[in-house]
Amino acid sequence: MPGHACTALDVGTGNGLLAVDLRQKVPAVTGIDREETVLESARQEHDDIDWVLGDVMEYPFTGTFDVVASVATLHHMLDLHATLRRLAELTSPGGVLVIVGLARPTRPADFALDLVGVVQHRWLSWRRNYWEHSAPTVWPPPHSYAEVRRCAAAQLPGMYWRKLPMFRYALTWHKPGTLATSFK
């Protein structure tokens, strides 16, 4: 997270958990989601976040954000190139784009890591009690790990990629430029 971040966008905010976490570090947070019911639930619990009902691909934001974050949303978007381009456009110069996404295995190493993820998921569900979000789900993910990584490398030069257990990957990209220190 940039040290002087003043604005953050949680893409596909769902129940708003990430937006709430971001709000502890960033003064102005916006959470956007296409699903009115999950957004209304988040809105009722937290009034210090700007909750936006809309599609991130079309919503007419008036500026950019120092932090653009997305957890388990990218696999809901069919056009990876357009989605990553849009998220990059919404990131302020000097800002950061962080995505934790879900992908489909296609290689033996993918399947092995996902098998570990199945065991880990079952253990955590048993240990911490299973919690199910109320946002819509897409399973299996339409894009493979390799497709997401190739697309991200093309759209976000210099991005950092890491495969994670439990069917996930993390992608981080710092937009070139200098972060402004005032609100947008």
pLDDT digits (tens, 9 = 90+) for 36-66: 888 888 888 888 999 999 999 999 999 999 9
Q: Report residue 89's pLDDT band, with 50, 70 and 90 as the boundaries.
A: very high
Q: In this predicted structure, which of 35-39, 94-98, 103-107 has the lowest mean pLDDT?
A: 103-107
Q: Which two tokens stand for residue 174?
A: 């710092």
Structure tokens at 15: 């129940």
Region 10-38 average pLDDT: 92
Tally of CB atoms within 10 A around 177: 11
Q: How confident is the model at residue 182 (pLDDT cuts 50, 70, 90)?
A: very low
Confidence band (pLDDT; 50, 70, 90) for 176? very high
| Alpha-helical regions (H) of the chain | 17-23, 36-45, 80-90, 108-128, 145-155
Rounded to an integer, the average pLDDT of 8-14 is: 94
Question: Look-up: residue for tokens 């996930």?
Answer: 168
Query: Measured between alpha carbons, how far is 113 from 145 in angstroms, rounded to an integer?
Result: 12
Residue 145, CB-side half-sphere exposure with 13 Å CA sphere: 19
Is the model's pLDDT at 98 over the cut of 70? yes
Mean pLDDT of 87-94: 96
Count of CB atoms situated within 10 Å of the CB of 27? 11
What SS3 class is residue 163?
strand
Q: Which domains does the chain have, with CATH numbers?
A: 7-174 (3.40.50.150)
Using the 8-state DSSP alphabet, how is residue 93 labeled?
E
Q: What is the pLDDT of residue 183?
A: 41
Q: Is the pLDDT of residue 71 over 80?
A: yes
Q: How far apart are CA 93 and CA 91, in angstroms?
A: 7
Q: What are phi and psi of 126, to 5 degrees?
A: -70, -45
pLDDT tens digits, one per residue of 133-145:
555 565 667 788 8
Is the separation of the CB atoms in 31 and 52 below 8 Å?
yes
| Token pair belonging to 17 | 């958990």
